[in-house]
């Protein structure tokens, strides 16, 4: 953290940072659900992650994860469209 700031400023001060952190968390939950075999739930988490932070640098990995699961579900056309 920068000098003079505290953890509360980092977590609660900047809306963009909060949205990015929520997106990362949702992506992680989606990956966890994929490993558990709950693909439909994983898709929901990953779509929420994209809704929270759709910046190219943040959503590229999420979109790849989503495409991978959609292919597993046999939804190839939608997988291509999400990337």
> pLDDT (tens digit, 9 = 90+) per residue, 14-72?
888 889 899 999 999 999 999 999 999 999 999 999 998 888 887 899 999 999 999 99
Residue 33 parent element (H or E): helix 15-35
Which of 55, 49, 54 has the alpha carbon at shortest distance from 66?
A: 49
Better-scored residue on pLDDT, 55 or 73: 73
- pLDDT of 10 reads 59
pLDDT at 5: 57
- 78 is written with which tokens? 């939608």
Say what the pLDDT of residue 54 is.
82
pTM above 0.85, yes or no: no
């Amino acid at each position: 953290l920068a000098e003079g700031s505290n953890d509360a400023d980092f977590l609660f001060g900047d809306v963009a940072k909060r949205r990015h952190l929520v997106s990362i968390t949702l992506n992680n939950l989606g990956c966890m659900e994929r490993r558990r075999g709950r693909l439909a739930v994983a898709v929901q988490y990953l779509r929420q992650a994209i809704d929270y932070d759709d910046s190219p640098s943040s959503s590229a990995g999420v979109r790849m994860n989503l495409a991978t699961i959609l292919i597993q579900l046999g939804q190839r056309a939608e997988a291509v469209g999400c990337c």
